[in-house]
């Protein structure tokens, strides 16, 4: 039986550890727990002991505990040490090599891999000191999962700092116990050689981005206000996370992301053709603002304005539904299909309906009402809609949205063991 030593830090997310212990036990993984002094302010050793079915260790100078199973044995008798929630303070002490309580003494004495799941207020997480400590710990070979973006326990607070979801942590633990250093975003320290295997390594990610242009005649077209910034940020993030990326881009004014294969198209029909040609893919992210309609019979030559004549009327026909077509593809359907929904009214309700109707796994919905600054801007405030429910993500840069989305996608694929 594989054994995890779970170190529970003193953060609000400590209560989630009860579920984490249960999920690990369900998978036949033994869990022994250490609680910091602060952790005991949030949940009791009694509850943790009852769920883990093991004596909970809390004190470095506990004579009885030390006789039963000393701190060095605690450190050695596990296959993996997990710190969750990893508080800012605990990360600081780990980075400094402190050993002034049972948790840090064990972390210093262990020789097995360590996985940390940070959870804290976004200001604490983004603080230079915390980021410095995280970099130090990554360099020391500590694996990290999260934190994710989302609402905080404190009312009205949101940002990056939420502990990774229990399912994500379980999947990462399983990966690390299986000796799979590829299972996440962390680093593995082997004989001081730091090898990096990012979360989307070996995956093919297909992204659509930008608007489409639907010709009226050779010089005029119908377009929309999409800048392509969010879609291009997603392609760039997927590349950074190690994926092979194909970006199908409508006409945009921004540069192609580096290291990405880009196909430039104009119309919705060309975009669908390029998407079909790029399959199979593990993940498909449809961030392009595809025109719903095109002109039924575009003029072959420029439509001339004749003095006194009535303006021409344009008959529109429906364009192919790229997202719906791909999401309902049988064998060639990507394992994870993510759509974007740009709405101006009842954003979340419309996104939920669209997700179901089109058999899409996830929808990222944003409000593109006038004055919101989403179209063409560098920031986005999105609602993340899945079968499990809706998460309201805080205001973030488009690069941060891209990063958060693709890390989630990577964890989802790892958990579902899916690949093309
Ligand atoms: C109500 C409350 C909530 C807290 N939540 C967090 C948190 O989520 N993350 C964090 O890093 N610190 C949090 N703290 C601060 C830690 O509890 C404090 O830094 C403590 O010393 C951490 O101890 P430990 O790292 O040994 O568990 C919180 C404190 C209080 C009073």
Asked if pLDDT for residue 184 goes beyond 60, the answer is no
Output the pLDDT for position 372: 59
**Distance of CA 7 from the midpoint of ligand 1 (Å):** 14
Asked if pLDDT for residue 95 goes beyond 90, the answer is yes
Q: How confident is the model at residue 28 (pLDDT cuts 50, 70, 90)?
A: very high
Output the pLDDT for position 306: 86
- Ligand 1 atom with the smallest distance to the CA of 8 is 27
Q: Stretch 75-80: mean pLDDT, rounded?
A: 89
Asked if pLDDT for residue 370 goes beyond 80, the answer is no
Cα 158 off chain centre by = 16
Catalytic residues: 224
Output the pLDDT for position 59: 86
Q: What percent of the chain has pLDDT over 90?
A: 62
Output the pLDDT for position 278: 94
Domains recognised in the chain with CATH numbers: 3-196 (3.40.50.1950), 204-416 (3.40.50.10300)
- Ligand 1 atom with the smallest distance to the CA of 91 is 25
Q: How confident is the model at residue 376 (pLDDT cuts 50, 70, 90)?
A: low
d(CA 385, CA 194): 37
DSSP 305: P
Q: What does the pLDDT look like over 266-292, one tens digit per residue?
A: 999 999 999 999 999 999 999 999 999
- Ligand 1 atom with the smallest distance to the CA of 9 is 27
Angle, alpha carbons 47-49-52 (nearest 5°): 105
Q: Kindly report the protein residue whose alpha carbon is nearest to atom 7 of ligand 1.
A: 11
Q: Name the residue of 10, 37, 107, 130 whose CB sits within 8 Å of the most ligand 1 atoms, as the mutation to test its pocket.
A: 10
Asked if pLDDT for residue 420 goes beyond 60, the answer is no
Cα 125 off chain centre by = 17
Contact 198, 242 (CB under 8 A): yes
Q: Kindly report the protein residue whose alpha carbon is nearest to atom 22 of ligand 1.
A: 10
Output the pLDDT for position 90: 98
Q: How far is CA 50 from CA 8, 55, 172, 208, 374, in A?
A: 15, 9, 24, 50, 49
Q: Kindly report the protein residue whose alpha carbon is nearest to atom 17 of ligand 1.
A: 10
Q: Which residues line ligand 1 (CB under 6 A)?
A: 9-13, 36, 38-39, 87-90, 119-120, 124
d(CA 374, CA 381): 8
Contact 405, 284 (CB under 8 A): no
Rounded to the nearest 5°, which phi and psi values hold at 40?
A: -70, -10
Query: Who wins on pLDDT, 346 or 323?
Result: 323
Q: Kindly report the protein residue whose alpha carbon is nearest to atom 4 of ligand 1.
A: 11
pTM above 0.75, yes or no: no
Q: How confident is the model at residue 193 (pLDDT cuts 50, 70, 90)?
A: very low
Best-predicted range by mean pLDDT (14-23, 130-139, 342-351): 14-23
Q: What does the pLDDT look like over 385-411, one tens digit per residue?
A: 999 888 888 888 899 899 999 989 988
Cα 225 off chain centre by = 26
Output the pLDDT for position 264: 96
Asked if pLDDT for residue 199 goes beyond 60, the answer is yes
**Distance of CA 83 from the midpoint of ligand 1 (Å):** 14
Q: Name the residue of 7, 35, 38 whose CB sits within 8 Å of the most ligand 1 atoms, as the mutation to test its pocket.
A: 38
Q: What does the pLDDT look like over 294-318, one tens digit per residue?
A: 999 999 999 998 888 899 999 999 9
Output the pLDDT for position 152: 72
> Which secondary-structure segment (H or E) carries 410?
helix 398-416
**Mean predicted lDDT score pLDDT of the chain:** 88
């Amino acid at each position: 039986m594989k054994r995890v030593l779970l170190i529970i830090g003193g953060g609000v997310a400590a209560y989630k550890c009860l579920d984490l212990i249960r999920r690990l036990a369900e998978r036949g993984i033994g869990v022994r727990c250490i609680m910091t002094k602060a952790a005991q302010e949030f949940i009791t050793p009694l509850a943790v002991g009852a769920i883990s079915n093991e004596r909970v260790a809390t004190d470095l100078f506990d004579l009885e505990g030390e006789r039963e199973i000393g701190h060095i044995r605690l450190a050695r008798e596990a296959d993996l040490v997990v710190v969750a929630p990893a508080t800012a303070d605990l990360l600081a002490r780990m980075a400094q090599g402190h050993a002034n309580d049972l948790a840090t003494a064990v972390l210093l004495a262990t020789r097995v891999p360590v996985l940390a799941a940070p959870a804290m207020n976004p200001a604490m997480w983004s603080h230079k000191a915390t980021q410095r400590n995280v970099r130090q710990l990554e360099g020391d070979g500590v694996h990290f999962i999260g934190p994710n973006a989302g609402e905080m326990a404190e009312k009205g607070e949101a940002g990056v700092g939420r502990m990774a979801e229990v399912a994500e942590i379980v999947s990462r633990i399983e990966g690390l116990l299986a000796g799979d250093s590829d299972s996440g975003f962390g680093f593995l320290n082997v004989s001081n050689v730091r090898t990096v295997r990012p979360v989307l390594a070996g995956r093919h990610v297909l992204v659509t981005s930008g608007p489409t242009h639907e010709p009226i005649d050779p010089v005029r077209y119908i377009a929309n206000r999409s800048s392509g910034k969010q879609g291009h940020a997603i392609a760039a993030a997927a590349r950074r996370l190690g994926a092979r990326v194909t970006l199908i881009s409508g006409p945009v004014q921004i540069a192609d992301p580096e290291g990405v294969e880009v196909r430039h198209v104009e119309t919705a029909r060309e975009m669908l053709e390029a998407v079909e040609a790029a399959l199979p893919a593990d993940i498909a992210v449809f961030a392009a603002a595809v025109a719903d309609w095109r002109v039924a019979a575009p003029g072959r030559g420029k439509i001339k304005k004749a003095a006194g004549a009535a303006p021409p009327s344009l008959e529109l026909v429906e364009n192919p539904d790229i997202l719906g077509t791909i999401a309902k593809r049988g064998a060639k359907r990507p394992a994870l299909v993510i759509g974007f929904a740009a709405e101006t009214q009842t954003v979340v309700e419309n996104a939920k309906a669209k997700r179901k109707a089109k058999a899409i796994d996830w929808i990222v919905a944003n409000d593109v009402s006038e004055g919101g600054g989403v179209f063409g801007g560098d920031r986005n405030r999105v609602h993340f809609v899945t079968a499990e429910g809706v998460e309201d993500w805080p205001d973030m840069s488009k690069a941060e949205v891209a990063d958060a989305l693709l890390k989630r996608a990577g964890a989802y694929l790892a958990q579902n063991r899916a690949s093309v």
